Structure 1
Amino acid sequence: MIGLLRWLLLPISLLYGCVVWLRNFLYDRGIWHSKSYPVRSIVIGNLAVGGSGKTPMTECLIRWFNSDYKIATLSRGYGRKTKGFRYVQIDDSAIATGDEPLQFKRKFPQLTVAVCEDRRTGIETLLSEHNLILLDDAYQHRRVAASCNILLFEYASLLGPIIPLPTGNFRDILPQAKRAHIIVITKIPKDLSVHQRAAIIKRLRKHSDAPIYFASIAYGAPKALSRPNDMTTNSSLVELRDKHVLLVTGIANPTPLIDYVRQQAQSVRNIALPDHHVFTPTDYEQIQVSYTQLASQGDTILITTEKDVQRLSIHSLASIPCYYIPITFVFDEEDHIRQDVINTLARYSVNEP
């Protein structure tokens, strides 16, 4: 039924696509202007709505370059109730900063993490003290011209037609891949064949000459949350095969995680909520009821994602053993993509703080 309704909205998708095309045309022709800054910057973005792996890609960049640059991350802070520029602190709430910036700060406490809906204002505030700014989810923010654009595509999104919102899941048009310096195909299946890789590359080569890399997801051992929003505990649970799992997700595409946990655990019940969902008392009641039902079958735990940890109230789940599963990207050619980023940044002359 939902699929039918989305197809009925196809005329709106066509109109949306025309508006997006016109906006890009105005920037491409210089009628509307993108502003450059004397600081190295990397955009991490996608053309679709959510689920492509911008957060683990940003974390890869932090790990690769944290010892060589004075890094700041700058995000819009999606879902926050505050406005304007704000530095993110470890003890902030997702309501004040957004969940992904808060995750960055809690995983990398020494990192400067900031949110601002106007990326120009954010960069202008940060550039004097930093020499590399990571612009999370800013591919469509064309008012800023970054040093390096990294464009992500979730593998599954390239298997079908590229249709704009609301019928499809794309907020930008595929020809805009031409602006990417590097393209990463994420969440590839383990058994991806050479033929399938070639087909994806051929499709993108119609629009971009950028180097194309492939990355799969690696799941870490579940980490116990011994206190609210604790991202640093060393406690971990290695074995899931004798566990019943209540999997609570509020992310764009929980399917890969669901499949992974099902392969590991005795049984899984999933509560799938919308991306960036703000948990309500009703949600906590549903979680408690589902956990109690599942626990009647045997040893049961709750598992969630790193991003959801930022929004969950562990106090509200005090009677439930709660864990999160960290994820990272595994690149086929990590040294090559890292060097491509270095080479792209090196082309820009910048002021050093």
Structure 2
Amino acid sequence: MNLLRKLLFPFAILYGIITSIRNFLFDKGVLKSTSFDIPVIAVGNLSVGGTGKTPQIEYLIRLLSDKYQVATLSRGYKRQSEGFVLADETSNAVILGDEPFQFFQKFKNIQVAVDANRTNGIQKLLSQPKKPQIILLDDAFQHRKVKAGFYILLTSYGDLYADDWMLPTGNLRESRSGAKRANIVIVTKCSSDLKESDQQNIRRKLKLEPSQELYFTYIDYDDCIYSQTGKLAIEEIKKERKLLLAGIAKPTPFFEFLKSNDDECLTFPDHHHFTETDITTIANKAKKHKIITTEKDYVRLKGTNIAPQLFYLPIKSTFINYQNNFDTTILNYVGKSTGNS
């Protein structure tokens, strides 16, 4: 923790008091939460920064969309549009935001919508001719104006909410006690061989309620990179010189997975909107070599003049153990739920 953050500790206390009062008022019904008569699953975190929400939402889509009509609802961070937008063939990352557009590109059998007002967004989705049976709320753990029927809380291994502090001293959006709202807590970005003893140590540190379930996942990288025209095996391009590009919160693991000695890494801010100047810089650094980026960045870059050189590396969230238990819990909630009130 740097000196400036330590000096801001009094503001962290004040911020914690404000968010705790807000949560208390929602808990007591003084502030209104709206519930809906279909299953609503909220995925989020207590901290700012990347905890792996996008691959977790995609895991749920794969689990549920073969049996149910699924819709995702996000706020559409940094999109250049306002209000409720339902994705269609005219949509792009500028209109939807990069992550919702990624969902829309990958999963053709679901509905993808964005709205900063989640209550309005759900109401709009339910008024569509093709009414969803399940709604997945992306990054909505603190959006308490909607009362979801099921909450999944993510926290990164090595950056657990139990070890963090309130903003601006730390990265917590609300007090650690907010974790009690979660039905399931998932520790993300673990090593794939995390020992059972280490899992138990984390369980003790998080101090979960007996009714809460705890799982551990890791980021699983694809064996291939993909472009508009095809794919290449990772092993084929490992020794080849290339430009690695990422505009995500924590790009180091992405770079480490792909990097060889002669590769150059280029980093942009999370959810960055690439300008013409950025594209020129990227092209100059890459020269005629391949450019490999994240899937989230790819949806913003594939329409630019570097597209012929551009590839992306897909990722997915994989459970270290007890995946069947997780799937059963989710499917039981969806199957038995006739409403969230």
What TM-score do the two structures reach when normalised by structure 1?
0.88
Report how many residues are paired: 335
Q: Does the 8 Å CA contact 2:302/2:310 hold for their aligned counterparts? A: no
TM-aligned CA deviation for residue 111 of structure 1: 1.4
Counterpart amino acid of residue 318 in structure 2: V
Aligned residue runs from structure 1 range 1-353, under 5 A: 3-127=2-126, 129-158=131-160, 161-206=163-208, 209-226=211-228, 233-238=229-234, 239-262=236-259, 265-292=260-287, 300-318=289-307, 321-331=309-319, 332-350=321-339
TM-superposed deviation, 1:54:
0.8
Q: How big is the shift at 1:224?
A: 3.2
Residue 230 (structure 1) aligns with? none
Per-residue CA deviation, residues 184-227 of structure 1 (Å, 9 max, x unaligned), is: 1111013422332112111222567410011111101343323x
Give, in whole Å, the separation in 2 of the partners of 1:25 and 1:152: 22
Residue identity matched to 1:118: N
SS in 2 for 1:276: coil
For 2:164, what is the secondary structure of its paired residue?
A: coil
| Alignment partners' CA distance in 2, 1:203 and 1:125 | 41
Tell me the distance in 2 between the aligned counterparts of 1:272 and 1:12. 31
Q: Secondary structure at the match of 2:159?
A: helix
Contact 1:185 1:215 (8 Å CA) reproduced: yes
Aligned partners of 2:230 and 2:210: how far apart in 1?
43
Q: Offset at 1:181?
A: 0.9
Shift of 1:70: 1.1
Assess if the C-alpha contact under 8 Å between 2:279 and 2:304 holds in 1. no
SS, match of residue 217 in structure 1: strand
1:87 partner amino acid: L
Deviations along 1:288-320, whole A, 9 cap, x unmatched?
23223xx7xxxx4211111111222543315x6
Shift of 1:131: 1.1
- Report the alpha carbon displacement of residue 159 of structure 1 after superposing the two structures with TM: 8.1
**Structure 1 alignment gaps of length 5 or more:** 227-232
1:8 to partner: Cα distance: 3.0
Deviating above 6 A after TM superposition, structure 1's stretches of 4 or more consecutive aligned residues are none
Distance 1:32 1:208 in 2: 28
Identify unmatched segments of 5+ residues in structure 2: none
User: Could you tell me which amino acid in structure 2 is paired with residue 287 of structure 1?
Assistant: I
Contact 1:178 1:209 in 2 (8 A): no
Q: Which moved more, 1:6-15 or 1:170-179?
A: 6-15
Q: How has the CA–CA distance of structure 1 residues 17 and 208 changed in structure 2, closer, same or farther, with 3 Å as cutoff? A: farther
The one-letter code sitting in structure 1 at the alignment partner of 2:35 is S
The one-letter code of the counterpart of 1:201 is R
Report the Cα distance in structure 2 between the residues aligned to 1:160 and 1:30, rounded to whole angstroms. 27
How far, CA to CA, are the matches of 2:210 and 2:49 in structure 1? 22
8 Å CA contact retained: 1:243, 1:266:
no
**1:9 counterpart letter in structure 2:** L
Question: 1:260–1:208: structure 2 CA closer, same or farther, 3 Å change rule?
Answer: farther
Quick check: 1:90–1:109 contact (8 Å CA) kept in 2? no
Q: Identical aligned pairs, as a percentage? A: 39
Measure how far apart 1:11 and its partner are: 2.6
SS of 1:308's equivalent in the other structure is helix
Q: Which has the larger displacement, 180-189 or 162-171?
A: 162-171
Distance 1:177 1:347 in 2: 24
CA RMSD of aligned residues (A): 2.1
Q: Which moved more, 1:215-224 or 1:107-116?
A: 215-224
Aligned-partner Cα distance in 2 for 1:160–1:25: 20
Q: Is the 8 A contact 1:240 1:266 kept in 2?
A: no
Letter in 2 for 1:335: N
Deviation at 1:101, TM superposition (A): 0.6
